[in-house]
Amino acid sequence: MFYSRYKELGEEFAVLAEPNIFTQSEVLLINEQLNECTGLKWQSEEVLQYLSGQAALPDCESVSLAYSGHQFGHFNPLLGDGRAHLIGTFTGTEGVEYDIQLKGSGATSFSRGGDGLCALGPAIREFIMSQAMHSLGVPTTHCLAVLSTGQTVYRQGHVPGAVVARMARNHVRVGSFQLLALKQDKTAMSELLELCIRDSFEDITSQGEERVYAFFNRVCQAQCSLMLKWLQVGFIHGVMNTDNTLVNGETIDYGPCAMMEGFSFSRVFSSIDSQGRYAFGQQPNIASWNCARLAESLLLLCESEEEAIERFSKSLADFSEAFNQGYRQLWQDKLALLDWNDEDQSLINELLELMTTHKLDYTNTFAGLTAHTMNTLRDQYPLASELDNWLSKWSARTEQYSKDIMITTMKMVNPALIPRNELVEEVIADFYRDGKSEQLRDWLIALKSPYEYRSLPQKWLTPQSDTTHYQTFCGT
């Protein structure tokens, strides 16, 4: 049932590494739905034994993966899983392969002097955020469970340690290809490309170099689609390095991430992003830039560099065109502009300028417009008075449309509920204080239906304090 699938890429790519054994570990959170729907179906004792390092998966050898990466634009030739162990892969329901990776499970050869451990807070954040993002319709890796380790780690003081068990279709990053390009390992890169096609782009049927071009084109499409979903829900990743970018277009590494509240395209939360490289509105540009770094790596598999550059450039241009079309459609859908005329762009720009000037809540503004159209729950989703004049223009623009069609369109893209930053921090504080959180269960249930407009506790909907200066940290 379990197997190791990265060893064929070489010992320098998948380095044998045993996770720490945490004998005092306890299971704090488990995603029962994920456990069941993937076909894993572990019992509680199996969860504890396998994810605490006390037992190895049958027929598997634990590895840490090597990769390169551009970190804030600067190339680092050798990074790798500095606090993570990929303990095995299994084929789940419908033939889908899943990696199981432990994060915070101890130092590896890539730790660069770090302890390889994880604090409880970032582990709780990943559990909440990955589930919420999945429910919001955003492609994502999944957190299977969070375990306490029974030990403390030092992160601006001593705090409880934890292990995150993460599941993903694969853990192949842009940086994975960069590493093999750096090593000029054409054989391993060909094998890695085939692994990715089998996992995520199995409908690619072309052969030879056409297969490489088709793969790159699909990666660009996946990244473009992911960026549009991030913008739709107001997600800010915080550290979009090439080593944090999965080629299959799933969100990974929920370290310094956050949800945008007061609207601004320049919004940044990550404490290490002092230049705003990965600000909310910069994310699509960075995704395209990361794809270009993948193209540079894939040149290794191409006979004619001139032709390859031309083909890769075409895919990058297609990325830009597809994003621009999708971006316009995003605002059309959020505002239920069921057809397009040239004046609509001014209407959209005016709204975004008002939201920026008055720091209006991103989610609640569009939820308010949706509730306004529904003519229900207006008290729960009030519209800011600064929008009164604009609202008259929008109402006049959309008066010819069917309200039912408008509502259906808006409810598909305007969530009523997101994982609010303040509540994430509250839950983390609960776990630090009590080892559990009484409010988390009901909140997680509600987060599974983020596009359902219904009566909800006000603290789930509106920040209770100014989060303009809220900061997030990577957790290492």
- The annotated binding site is made up of 80, 82-83, 103, 115-116, 166, 173, 244, 253
Distance CA 376, CA 362 (A): 20
Measured between alpha carbons, how far is 364 from 409 in angstroms, rounded to an integer? 17
Nearest residue to 215 via CA among 431, 282, 415, 207: 207
Catalytic-labelled residue, pool 243, 339, 388, 404: 243
DSSP element (H, E) containing 89 = strand 84-91
Whose CA is closest to 227, among 304, 163, 290, 300?
290
Q: Do residues 260 and 234 lie in contact, with contact meaning Cβ atoms separated by under 8 Å?
A: yes
Q: Which of 247, 32, 22 is nearest to 127 (CA)?
A: 32
Q: Using an 8 Å Cβ cutoff, are 68 and 182 in contact?
A: yes
Query: Is 342 noted as a catalytic residue in this protein?
Result: no
- β-partners of residue 236 are 258
> Collapsing DSSP states into helix, strand and coil, what is residue 472?
strand
In 3D, which of 439, 461, 440 has the Cα closest to residue 259?
Answer: 461
Tokens representing 19 are 């996770």
Closest C-alpha to 353, from 397, 390, 328: 390
Residue 358's CB: how many other CB atoms inside 10 A? 15
CB atoms within 10 A of CB 32: 10
CB 319 within 8 A of CB 222: no
CB-CB contact of 221 with 237 (8 Å)? no
Q: What's the token pair of residue 347?
A: 């209407």
Cβ within 8 Å of residue 318, ≥6 positions away: 217, 220, 221
Q: Give the residue ranges of the annotated binding site for ATP.
A: 80, 82-83, 103, 115-116, 166, 173, 253
Write b or e for each residue in 442-461: b if 16 or more Cβ atoms lie within 10 A of its Cβ, otherwise e.
ebbebbeebbebeebeeebb
Q: Which residues are catalytic?
A: 243
